[in-house]
Amino acid sequence: MTKYSLKNRCLLVLLLLAVINQAHADNGYKLWLEYNRITAPQQAAVYKQQLAYFIFPAASDQLKAAKTELLTGLDGMLSFIPRDTKAIISGQTFIVGTPRSLKSLSIVVPDGIGSEGYLIKTTLINQQKCTIIIANTDVGVLYGVFNFLKLIQIHQPINRLDISDHPHIMYRVLDHWDNLNRSVERGYAGSSIWNWHKLPGIVDQRYIDYARANASVGINGSVINNVNADALILSPQYLIKIQTLANVFRVYGIKIYLSVKFSSPVDLGGLKTADPLDATVKKWWADKADEIYHYIPDFGGFLVKANSEGQPGPQTYGRTHADGANMLADVLAPHHGIVMWRAFVYDNNVPDDRSKQAYNEFKPFDGKFRDNVIIQVKNGPIDFQPREPFHPLFGAMPNTSLMMEFQLTQEYLGFSTHLVYEAPLFAECLQADTYTQGKGSTVSRVLQGDFNKKLITGMAGVANIGSDLNWCGHPFAQANWYAFGRMAWNPDQSPAAIADDWLKMTFTNDAGFVSPVKRLMLESRENTVNYMTPLGLHHIMGVSTHYGPGPWVDNAGRPDWNATYYHKADSAGIGFNRTSTGSNALSQYAPEVKANWENLQTCPDEYLLWFHHLSWTYKMRSGKSLWDEIVHHYYMGADSVKQMTLTWNKMQGKVDAERFTEVQQLMQTQLAEATTWRDACVLYFQTFSKMPIEAIYAKPEHPLPYYKGMKFYYVPGIGGNNYMTN
């Protein structure tokens, strides 16, 4: 017998296997900032040679953060740290900073880069070849560094660089719907990452990593609390906690904003009214603004949900949205703060199609808002549905700043169990042509202020972030946070290019993984539309929880919370007639758009039942009857999830075991839920069409009463303060 007994040798092998497995386990906490080791020796050697020396004087906190990130990234990817140098060693040096921080080198930043842009360029300085990452400001350097690291993360050559980039949108903001009790309204990734109990004393590493991740994609604002706001957020007890967060975020170029309750002067200040034209109310807000800026000198401003879903607002006191927004704008203006005022308003006492109400309320106030007010408009006219046409307010208020509100948290897209890459949804809306200033007036151009340079510009994403180890619940939901940042920076970037970068940074550069999984991501949103709300159907989810299908819902608290209000299925057909013979919501769009969608010959199938009520036997472009087409889409949708699981199964071994298995399990859940959606909807609509499901399709797994009887308790995303039941 040798030194080791058989038993001991077996134990050693097991230990070794455990260590190897450990090395391949990844809980996703690092997001797209994995900085995976470059294992090809030749490739790593080339990078190391080109990056051997650097000049990076870092006096400010932001430059220090940029430098730390750079060194962390290089160490992770190349297991090496460049050497500080004073003299440039040709071909082996890179230089990072601003004209101010690099005084001795007389660096000139080209025009057009602005206060947040950067230049990454291979160039000659003092006749020596080097790489420069330069910007006008420290935060520009930070963005440049993250993008330089990205080049290495996605294995790009860095010997002939010439990248000049700057944001196309000013306010790039995440909206957290986080409550003070740490529940998250419509949050599916655990509880709030803000640990109010331990603030201000304890600075959780998560706050820093959150800020790093945001800065890496150019997000420069964070609204940290729910739009259904608690007035307490403005109390000194909370302001001191918020100050700690602001101090962390500032280093990464992120400003803090707060959602405020319009009745705060009453709730918190003990006043008799919150009437925006009342002098004592104005004074209360002005004093409150001074107090906030005392704690947070670079505070960003307020987000307001007013007169919407039970929230108080200026109309509560007989005033208008403009009165309310302008009063708050006036108290913030001396401090350079802004007001993001939401256009998500609708009232069941108004006898008009819900989809028309925001436009009706706001359009008359075009040009009436202060310069530091920006109206925050959801991408579509109802409410973050899997597919909506663009909101008619885009382009309709040329004298008012408008910002986009997308929803990253998957309230209507399968929570955090469904893989839905949302960039195609964002791009569909952003590239839609509003025709409001002639052909080519896309939503993207409206948002970028192309038609009125005086306006301020913005894009908000309702965050999908929580305390889960992997931040977003589903490993692929991280891609929606990432893609939002990228598209807020430049709304015209392609979903495919973003997915490509994200996959490489988050998982691996292996083309055998990136190419099939990218395809899967790009198709995922359409798949979900197919198994949830095909052909323009909308708002047919479970009541209140918004979990699973609920096309039969007809007894919610308000008529416009019922599914039947939206699909209008009857024996004659299905769909919401929004043409001139119906609610005429189409009249809110430019004539070209209206004509296109009103005409059945030109209205795309995607919006058919959003705008038209059609008979079950209506002949579709495919030649099928409308009924057969609906059935086809539901089956196609559920089947595509099956295909997705097959693709993913082939990825075993290409990514770490932990995330591979997690995604595999999530996809099984998604498949089961997609099948439930399909069967429940098809069976329910069949009670009106009275037509058969073609024999080529599998029979629904259960009869309709089974689906109607499904009950869900303690569904995530609810249970906070001010929770609404729509």
Distances (CA, A) of 520 to 39, 160, 509: 27, 33, 16
DSSP state of 714: S
Report the residue number, 185 or 658, with the smaller CB distance to ligand BDP: 185
Report the residue number, 185 or 468, with the smaller CB distance to ligand BDP: 185
Report the residue number, 47 or 565, with the smaller CB distance to ligand BDP: 565
Q: Where are the beta strands (DSSP E) in 380-495?
A: 401-407, 458-462
Report the residue number, 405 or 679, with the smaller CB distance to ligand BDP: 405
Among positions 182, 212, 305, 613, the unique one binding ligand BDP when judged by CB under 6 A: 305
Instruction: State how far the Cα of 154 lies from the Cα of 171, in Å rounded to an integer.
Output: 27
Output the smallest distance, CB 77 to ligand BDP, in A: 40
Total residues contacting ligand BDP by CB under 6 A comes to 12
Instruction: State how far the Cα of 346 lies from the Cα of 309, in Å rounded to an integer.
Output: 7
List the interface residues with ligand BDP, window 411-440 (CB under 6 A).
411
Structural tokens at position 403: 């910002």
Phi and psi at 540, nearest 5°, equal -120, 30
Reduce the DSSP state of residue 120 to 3 states and report it. strand
Instruction: State how far the Cα of 282 lies from the Cα of 265, in Å rounded to an integer.
Output: 9
Report the residue number, 309 or 347, with the smaller CB distance to ligand BDP: 309
Q: Does 521 bind ligand BDP (CB under 6 A)?
A: no
Output the smallest distance, CB 459 to ligand BDP, in A: 16
Q: What does the per-residue mask of binding to ligand BDP show for 126-165, with x meaning CB under 6 A?
A: ----------------------------------------
In 3D space, the residue among 97, 96, 99, 47 whose CA is nearest the CA of residue 74 turns out to be 47
CB 370 within 8 A of CB 336: no
Report the residue number, 118 or 394, with the smaller CB distance to ligand BDP: 394
Instruction: State how far the Cα of 65 lies from the Cα of 71, in Å rounded to an integer.
Output: 10
Among positions 131, 228, 410, 588, the unique one binding ligand BDP when judged by CB under 6 A: 228
Reduce the DSSP state of residue 201 to 3 states and report it. coil
Output the smallest distance, CB 241 to ligand BDP, in A: 23
629 Rama class: left (phi>0) / alpha (psi -120 to 50) / beta: alpha
Q: Does 721 bind ligand BDP (CB under 6 A)?
A: no
Among positions 109, 227, 333, 682, the unique one binding ligand BDP when judged by CB under 6 A: 227
β 458-462/171-175 pair status: parallel
694 CB-near residues (< 8 Å, 6+ apart): 628, 631
| 361 catalytically annotated | no
Output the smallest distance, CB 483 to ligand BDP, in A: 20
Reduce the DSSP state of residue 184 to 3 states and report it. strand
Instruction: Tell me which of 138, 165, 361, 411 is the catalytic residue.
Output: 411
Q: Does 384 bind ligand BDP (CB under 6 A)?
A: yes
Instruction: State how far the Cα of 15 lies from the Cα of 388, in Å rounded to an integer.
Output: 54
Output the smallest distance, CB 227 to ligand BDP, in A: 5
Output the smallest distance, CB 580 to ligand BDP, in A: 29
The residue of the chain with the least Cβ separation from ligand BDP equals 383
In 3D space, the residue among 603, 676, 611 whose CA is nearest the CA of residue 637 turns out to be 676
In 3D space, the residue among 353, 492, 474, 357 whose CA is nearest the CA of residue 420 turns out to be 474
Among positions 271, 556, 620, 724, the unique one binding ligand BDP when judged by CB under 6 A: 724
Q: Does 263 bind ligand BDP (CB under 6 A)?
A: no
Output the smallest distance, CB 421 to ligand BDP, in A: 20
203 CB-near residues (< 8 Å, 6+ apart): 244, 248
Residues in the chain: 726
In 3D space, the residue among 100, 97, 103, 44 whose CA is nearest the CA of residue 74 turns out to be 44
Preceding omega of 157 cis (within 30 degrees of 0): no
Instruction: State how far the Cα of 273 lies from the Cα of 568, in Å rounded to an integer.
Output: 42
Output the smallest distance, CB 186 to ligand BDP, in A: 5
User: Letter for the amino acid at 660?
Assistant: F
Report the residue number, 136 or 228, with the smaller CB distance to ligand BDP: 228
In 3D space, the residue among 242, 357, 255 whose CA is nearest the CA of residue 301 turns out to be 255
Phi and psi at 162, nearest 5°, equal -155, 75
Q: Does 627 bind ligand BDP (CB under 6 A)?
A: no
List the interface residues with ligand BDP, window 324-383 (CB under 6 A).
344, 383
Output the smallest distance, CB 432 to ligand BDP, in A: 21
List the interface residues with ligand BDP, window 659-688 (CB under 6 A).
none
Report the residue number, 490 or 721, with the smaller CB distance to ligand BDP: 721
Among positions 235, 360, 615, 726, the unique one binding ligand BDP when judged by CB under 6 A: 726
Report the residue number, 411 or 501, with the smaller CB distance to ligand BDP: 411
Instruction: Tell me which of 75, 267, 291, 309 is the catalytic residue.
Output: 309
Q: Does 259 bind ligand BDP (CB under 6 A)?
A: no
| 606 catalytically annotated | no
Report the residue number, 245 or 303, with the smaller CB distance to ligand BDP: 303
DSSP state of 541: B
Phi and psi at 232, nearest 5°, equal -60, -25
DSSP state of 472: S
Report the residue number, 464 or 675, with the smaller CB distance to ligand BDP: 464
Report the residue number, 50 or 264, with the smaller CB distance to ligand BDP: 264
Classify each residue of 191-201 as buried b or exposed e, where b means 16 or more C-beta atoms within 10 Å of its C-beta: bbbbbbeebbe
Q: Does 556 bind ligand BDP (CB under 6 A)?
A: no
| 428 catalytically annotated | no
In 3D space, the residue among 156, 24, 105 whose CA is nearest the CA of residue 507 turns out to be 24
Output the smallest distance, CB 309 to ligand BDP, in A: 6
Distances (CA, A) of 295 to 233, 298, 332: 13, 9, 14
Output the smallest distance, CB 384 to ligand BDP, in A: 5
Q: Does 539 bind ligand BDP (CB under 6 A)?
A: no
Output the smallest distance, CB 218 to ligand BDP, in A: 24
Instruction: Tell me which of 383, 428, 526, 679 is the catalytic residue.
Output: 383
Output the smallest distance, CB 602 to ligand BDP, in A: 30
Question: Cα(first)–Cα(last) distance of the chain, in Å?
Answer: 74
Q: Does 645 bind ligand BDP (CB under 6 A)?
A: no
Report the residue number, 309 or 523, with the smaller CB distance to ligand BDP: 309
145 CB-near residues (< 8 Å, 6+ apart): 66, 67, 69, 70, 96, 133
Structural tokens at position 474: 């589903």
Q: What does the per-residue mask of binding to ligand BDP show for 167-206, with x meaning CB under 6 A?
A: ------------------xx--------------------
**R_g of the chain, CA atoms, integer Å:** 27
Instruction: State how far the Cα of 640 lies from the Cα of 677, in Å rounded to an integer.
Output: 13
> Which residues of this protein are in contact with ligand BDP, per CB under 6 A?
185-186, 227-228, 305, 309, 344, 383-384, 411, 724, 726
Instruction: Please list the active-site residues.
Output: 309, 383, 411
